[in-house]
Structure formats: C-alpha cells, structure tokens
Amino acid sequence: MIEKSIIVGPFQCNCRLLVCSRTGHAVLVDPGDEKDRILQALQSVKTQSGVCIQVKYLIHTHGHLDHVGATRSLFESFDQEAPQIALHRDDEPLYLNLKTQGSLFGLHFETPLPVQHYLQDEEQIQVGDLKFTVLHTPGHSPGSVCLRLHEDSQAGISETVLTGDTLFQGSVGRTDLWGADTDQMFKSIRERLLVLDDETRVCPGHGVSTSIGIEKFQNPFLRSIR
C-alpha cells in the first residue's frame, strides 16, 4: 500500500491518499481544502511509485467544511472515470449547507455536488487490495463515520482506523456544533473504537497518529468510559 497524508486548509485537516500498490486503485479521505496541493501530492506519488493511480472514492468521515471543502473542485479535476463522492446520509444536510458553514468563518465555497454513494454502517468497501469497513460513529456529527482498514500483510497493510474528528491523540471530537451529542460520541468511541485491537493504528482527521491502546489507557477524556 502507498499512503500519503496532506495537511490542508486553515483548520489543518489530514487529507489522506491510500493507494493499492498492485492495482493503483485509490481513495482520498477528507479532501477539505487546497485542491491544487492535493493534486500535486497525487502526481508526486504517481511519479515516485511509477503506479498509474485511479481514485475510486472521495470518502468523507463527516460533513464539516474542513473535511469537504475541496470535494467539488477535485471531482471536476478528474477528466475521466471521476471518483464517487461518499458520505453518510445523516451528514448530508451539513454537506449541502457548505456555503452557509463557510460564511460563518468568512470563507467562500461553491455549491457542493450531490452525494453519489451513501456510506452505511458495517458496509465493506473494496478498493484493489484495500478492504475497508465503515463504522458509523455519531456524536461529533450525526453522520460521522470511521473507516477501518483491515490488515493484509501480503499487501503491506497494517490494521488501521481513520477516525475523522471522533478520536484524536489525547483528545476527542468537540460536541458544541449542530447535531452533535456528547453522550452519543462517547458511546461510539466505547462501542466501536475501543473494542478494536490495541495495536490498531489511529489516523485522526487532525494532528498526529496514535493507537487504540495508547488512547484507551492514556487519553484523559476517556477515563470515565474505560
């Protein structure tokens, strides 16, 4: 597997490119801003690896502006075989109100394109040798999801979960935004994330990577649910 993280926008969102080395099929997760930087990173990976990359999905862990802001411009940059725009249905209202979200921060966005693939809890998505399971983890937003990338040693893939803004190194997602629910978020973390193997790598939507075990035993926000 080829992996590239691109930190984008004023909110420093981790946009992640995950590529199957064998097929070149790929996903871009949370393309929140700076379309040109994302495309440059994509081209750099192509040049360095020699792999012909085809992005199959633009996957969003949730619908906040810093995770969806570059989706339209990216989608329109693909001349052929454009990727599918994927989001959980419960966050579609957030996504479709991108322009309003932006106006609250003095930012301008174009009207978003329609969602083409509605992510569902426990749905499995196969992209080349990359096997994902969608975990619906509401709380930070109604349609927040985490993406579990299953281990495949032959393909060089370690067990990983992309947690969006639900779980961070030493912190958790905020719940003072529209549709957020603190109790629901901690329930999601307890029942969907902390049950994963302690060695599972955690790749959050902002900040550095960590592991389930580290967060289970060291994250101060999780003391009450351990």
Tokens of 34: 């700076």
pLDDT at 226: 65
Strand partners, 58: 28, 85
What is the per-residue pLDDT for 132? 98
How confident is the model over 34-77, as pLDDT tens digits? 999 999 999 999 999 999 999 999 999 999 999 999 999 999 99
Domain 2-225 has CATH 3.60.15.10: yes
Q: How far apart are CA 32 and CA 18, in angstroms?
A: 16
pLDDT at 79: 80
Predicted confidence at residue 156, as pLDDT, reads: 84
Q: What are the pLDDT digits (tens) for 72-107? A: 999 999 987 889 999 999 999 999 999 999 999 999
Give the residue from 97, 153, 106 showing the smallest Cα distance to 129. 153
Q: What share of the chain in percent tops pLDDT 90?
A: 95
Output phi, psi for 182, to 5 deg: -60, -50
136-178 pLDDT, tens per residue? 999 999 999 999 999 998 888 999 999 999 999 999 999 999 9
Backbone angles phi, psi at 178, to 5 degrees: -55, 130
pLDDT in tens, 185-209: 999 999 999 999 999 999 999 999 9
